[in-house]
A and B are shown apart, each in its own frame.
Chain A
Amino acid sequence: MPEILDRARARVLTDGAGLDEAGILEVLRLPDEDLPALLQLAHEVRMAWCGPEVEVEGIVSLKTGGCPEDCHFCSQSGLFTSPVRSVWLDIPSLVEAAKQTAATGATEFCIVAAVRGPDQRLMAQMREGVAAIRAAVDIQVAASLGMLTQEQVDELVAMGVHRYNHNLETCKSYFPNVVTTHSWEERWGTLRMVRDSGMEVCCGGILGLGETVEQRAEFAAQLAELDPHEVPLNFLNPRPGTPLGDRPVVEGKDALRAIAAFRLAMPKTILRYAGGREITLGDLGTKEGLLGGINAVIVGNYLTTLGRPATADLELLKELKMPVKALSATL
């Protein structure tokens, strides 16, 4: 047993304290033969500090494409030659998507817009859309609308949005290689406002953007410092026409090592499978991740790409004897 796993067992599993950056890096550098023991420990940590329940979420794009920002992984930037065109979802379709999501047993429905930050039109759509969902569907509403002003934070709270997603995407030292139209610190500023408002903070990122293993450890440590309620973990799905469109996908074992490392960095957070797992991990890897620290999933499709059918994930959770978190447990 590698010494770092003994230390992690004492510090994380027993005491509930996350590994520091150096410890995370040691975990990320473990050889393949130690991966089963690492995943087992991460699973024990998840079960001890989060329990067996899995939080299920659906996401939908309210405003797709035409974004003025240049996040190099994103097919929705208007600055690249991506085939994704701009489109808005109407309110009846938004409510229908929330109903379909709730029918899977999901407790979370996240409304996403490809924007730098919301304008008056988007906030008006959110007011109408969130009210319509809350009137028709028994589900928690989250939002992801880019960078916010304090007034917009306050308005989202008043609408009843309970969680706000704003990903840092990657570590501070690598961020300028991924985004040049705004800074890591600007994102951090929005996250602080969200935290202070009482909304739950959802903040994660994407692995496989070209960051080093050291920067992956840096990112996990920076997320741990933020202490978000939820961390969505994406793996790059290279999109045609984007600057990262030709990057290789993350190796499955590296993805699993990262899942376990992020769990050991943040033993008590909701660690969610997000985009890219289908191509990085496939069916077998998806199962291994759920037995290696993951305790939440996005079911169904993503914003511009497709996911596994919700039924496939729900059947897997049943096989693993991991109950879907009930809505009453989230209130």
Chain B
Amino acid sequence: MTLLGYCDRCGEAAGEGDHSACAEARRLEPPRYCPDCRRRMRVQVVPTGWTATCVEHGARHS
């Protein structure tokens, strides 16, 4: 989980509230929200990895 602006699992502000459960869940999940702008990303999971793309901030990879 990237603790920049937003939690990439739940989309809430990363600096507000407890995101430890999100961090734990992220061990077995790809990110869903862009940590920069909280837009929902287009996420493609394949057997060996994932790619998450924000329309504004580009692609992130596993």
Contacts and interface: CB of A to CB of B under 8 A. Distances in A.
Contacts of A278: 28
B44 A64 contact: yes
Contact of B42 (A87, A237, A303): A87
Interface of B: 10-11, 27-30, 32-33, 40-50
B14 to A, nearest CB: 16
A306 B30 contact: yes
A87 B43 contact: yes
A100 B10 contact: no
A306 B46 contact: no
A83 interface: yes
A85 to B, nearest CB: 5
A300 B48 contact: yes
9 contacts: A58-B47, A60-B46, A60-B47, A64-B43, A64-B45, A97-B47, A301-B48, A304-B29, A305-B28
Interface residues of A, number: 31
Given A85-B41, A87-B43, A104-B47, 20 more contacts: A83-B11, A83-B32, A84-B32, A89-B44, A93-B44, A97-B47, A100-B46, A237-B28, A279-B28, A299-B47, A300-B47, A301-B46, A301-B47, A301-B49, A304-B43, A305-B30, A305-B45, A306-B45, A310-B47, A310-B48
A85 B48 contact: no
A101 interface: yes
Contact of B45 (A96, A104, A237, A304): A304
Nearest to A303: B45
Contacts of B28: 237, 278-279, 305-307
A113 to B, nearest CB: 13
A283 B50 CA distance: 22
A101 B47 CA distance: 7
B47 A85 contact: no
A302 interface: yes
A59 interface: yes
Nearest to B42: A87
B61 to A, nearest CB: 12
A85 B29 CA distance: 14
Nearest to A58: B47
Contact of A301 (B10, B11, B33, B45): B45
Interface string A83-126: 11111010001001100110010000000000000000000000
B29 to A, nearest CB: 5
A290 B10 CA distance: 34
Contacts of B47: 58-60, 97, 100-101, 104, 299-301, 310
A83 B49 contact: no
A196 B45 CA distance: 33
B30 A97 contact: no
A61 interface: yes
